[in-house]
Chain A
Amino acid sequence: NAGVTQTPKFQVLKTGQSMTLQCAQDMNHEYMSWYRQDPGMGLRLIHYSVGAGITDQGEVPNGYNVSRSTTEDFPLRLLSAAPSQTSVYFCASRRGWSSGNTIYFGEGSWLTVV
């Protein structure tokens, strides 16, 4: 099993450009989520999904879109990149709803918006 795979690892964008961060998992997990990690702050939830066709907003959803057309994939779209979106992004997945299940993270995507 590959676990959770994120691409790209590194990306530089210009302000106003759009892009998609890809996330795929091969563990048949229902729950998938996107976080951003900024210096001095804990991981913050952007969007999450509890199954194919079902998504919801987290703490910091503005400027981001998600979709979940399959169990495996959960892409994160930046609609019009802003310097405030410079961050490290992590995709994660786990089995079921419960926060008591082991969570699996991708390797992270380093995004710089200039």
Chain B
Amino acid sequence: KNEVEQSPQNLTAQEGEFITINCSYSVGISALHWLQQHPGGGIVSLFMLSSGKKKHGRLIATINIQEKHSSLHITASHPRDSAVYICAVGGTSYGKLTFGQGTILTVHP
């Protein structure tokens, strides 16, 4: 079993829809990251969470430490949100990150 599991693996939405991507992890962590990767492009950091909730524009990230679960929400989705969204958790071992397999999001106009 992977230490970090994302669901769904693939997600298709219509423009304007509310989107949720989930991340569950099985180990104790010190931080959780949400990353975005556009096709053929680099990877950018969206959020770093250690507790609670963060919001940036149309993106909201939440984490429940007790349940070992985080969600990334996109409100009013847009085709430019089409990308791979990656969850990564950081433990206490030399600051290493463990990555989920990613969720491929496609938003149609």
Give the B-binding residues of A (Cβ under 8 A).
31, 35, 40-45, 48, 50, 56, 58, 90, 92, 96-108
Which DSSP category, helix, strand, loop or mixed, fits chain A's interface? Answer: loop
Give the chain B neighbours of A90 by CB distance below 8 A: 42-43
- Give the B interface residue count (CB, 8 A): 28
Answer whether A97 and B97 are a contact pair too, CB < 8 Å, given A43-B86, A107-B42. Answer: no
Query: Are B86's CB and A56's CB within 8 A?
Result: no
Query: Are A99's CB and B45's CB within 8 A?
Result: no
Answer whether A99 and B42 are a contact pair too, CB < 8 Å, given A42-B100, A42-B102. Answer: no
> With A and B bound together, what is the CA distance between A100 and B99 in angstroms?
14
B31 within 8 A of A: yes
Give the chain B neighbours of A56 by CB distance below 8 A: 94
Give the A-binding residues of B (Cβ under 8 A).
2, 4, 29-31, 33, 35, 41-45, 48, 50, 86, 88-91, 94-102
Q: Can you offer 11 A-B residue contacts whose CB atoms are under 8 A?
A: A42-B4, A43-B86, A92-B43, A96-B95, A97-B94, A99-B91, A99-B97, A100-B50, A103-B33, A106-B42, A108-B42
Query: Are A42's CB and B48's CB within 8 A?
Result: no
Give the chain B neighbours of A41 by CB distance below 8 A: 101
Query: Are A102's CB and B45's CB within 8 A?
Result: yes
Query: B4, B88, B97: which has the most chain A beta carbons within 10 Å?
Result: B97
Give the chain B neighbours of A102 by CB distance below 8 A: 45, 48
Answer whether A42 and B86 are a contact pair too, CB < 8 Å, given A48-B96, A105-B44. Answer: yes
Chain A residue, CB-CB nearest to B41? A107
Contact of A42 among B2, B29, B30, B41 (CB under 8 A): B2
Min CB gap B70→A, angstroms: 14
Give the chain B neighbours of A50 by CB distance below 8 A: 94-95
Given A90-B43, A100-B90, A102-B48, 8 more pairs with CB closer than 8 A: A35-B99, A42-B102, A90-B42, A98-B30, A98-B95, A99-B29, A99-B89, A99-B90
